Amino acid sequence: MLMRQKSQPKNEQGAESTGSYPRTRMRRLRQKSWIREMVAEHSLSVSDLVWPVFITEGKNQREYIKSMPGVERRSTDLTIEALKKAHGNGVQAVALFPVVPDKYKTMDGREAFNPDNLMCRAVQEIKNALPDMGIITDVALDPYTTHGHDGLVEDDKILNDETVEILCRQAVVQARAGADIIAPSDMMDGRIGAIRDSLESESFTDTMILSYAAKYASSFYGPFREAVGSGAFLKGDKKTYQMNPANADEALLEVALDIKEGADMVMIKPGLPYLDVLHKVKETFKIPTFAYQVSGEYAMLKAAAEYGCLDYEHTLMETMIAFKRAGADGIFTYAAPEIAKTLQEKSAKG
């Protein structure tokens, strides 16, 4: 009895889209580095990187973060030194996160909209020193509150609309200080439209908004909360406003709403555990889409490398390509300076 041969996949013209062995040998295009790079479907550029940094008060202050090897809290002067070096290697954007002294933390987080707060002063000083460096500022109340939440709290409930009013004031003072991109990470409903209206009313028409549109209630944020000093203050969890990790389609609705309200770009956070969401968002909306390799992801790579379980540099670069393959236009990573140096060295070797 004759065996029926399986049909080959066909392209739009109806022709067979694949060959067969031995005429087609997939390994031919893998045998040398130059051909592998020539036919690579995705690539990583230093312009894809955003470096998140933690800023603290004072001068010549440096504090190591135990849970994030290689990452420090720095005073603004030392931050500028580090940024100059990173910028020299091609890093073009920084995301600032303030370590707010306990004495400035309050229930209502009013320090967030103080025009002379740490964030605003740091933005001004960095802009003066590095006018070509893109500055992204975090809009959320958790560094400024005594309860560690991203919004105002009343009777153990996170208040949405009242919080949005504070976020608008916070966004305006950051824009006035010179921030290029305002990045609301709070996940309150309606805050993108309200912030856009506030910026427009103050003539900040060119200030961009990067919305953390799909930010999940994740366990991967632990080291970050230690770094900014909010973890010890956090009462309860953030599950009533950050997204359920079980949901992917919901992210599409969140993104659609934020685009309609005026977001220029959107963020998916965390990164690697949510590549499916990143891909769905990019494919659906075709809008600039960012991914955040969060503190827990970074810390896991460092810890695994320390125990000899993996090659840190190669694994790090592999994760970056994974983000690009999924559709990321930009990647927030604490390893941005390391990656930039690696890319520069590779380019120099030619």
Q: In this model, does residue 83 exceed pLDDT 90?
A: yes
Range of the domain at 281: 45-349
Q: How many domains does the chain have?
A: 1
Return the CATH number at 55: 3.20.20.70
Q: Which residue has the tokens 């809290």?
A: 73
How long a stretch of residues is the chain?
350
29 inside domain = no
223 inside domain = yes
333 inside domain = yes
10 Å Cβ neighbour count for 191? 27
How far does the chain reach from its first CA to its final CA, in angstroms?
Answer: 58
Q: In this model, does residue 284 exceed pLDDT 80?
A: yes
5 inside domain = no
Residues with Cβ within 8 Å of residue 295, at least 6 apart in sequence: 67, 68, 220, 221, 222, 223, 224, 227, 334
Q: What percent of the chain has pLDDT over 70?
A: 93
C-alpha Rg value of the chain to the nearest Å:
22
Most distant CA pair in the chain, distance: 85
Structure tokens at 14: 């109806």
Given 6, 84, 239, 269, the catalytic residue: 269
167 inside domain = yes
d(CA 114, CA 230): 19
Q: What element of type H or E holds 98?
A: strand 93-98
10 Å Cβ neighbour count for 283? 11
23 inside domain = no
Q: What is the mean pLDDT of residues 129-145?
A: 96
Given 215, 238, 302, 324, the catalytic residue: 215
Residue spans of alpha helices (H) in 6-98: 33-38, 76-88
Return phi, psi of residue 73, to 5°: -90, 135
d(CA 254, CA 259): 9
Whole-prediction pTM value? 0.92
Q: What confidence score (pLDDT) does residue 12 get?
A: 54
Q: In this model, does residue 235 exceed pLDDT 90?
A: no
For helices 76-88 and 118-129, give the axis angle rounded to 10 degrees.
40
Summarised one tens digit per residue, pLDDT across range 86-125 is 999 999 999 999 999 999 999 999 999 999 999 999 999 9
199 inside domain = yes
295 inside domain = yes
Q: Using 50, 70 and 90 to split pLDDT, how confident is the model at 231?
A: low
Q: In this model, does residue 51 exceed pLDDT 50?
A: yes
Q: In this model, does residue 224 exceed pLDDT 90?
A: no
Task: Confirm whether 215 is a catalytic residue.
Answer: yes
Task: Confirm whether 6 is a catalytic residue.
Answer: no
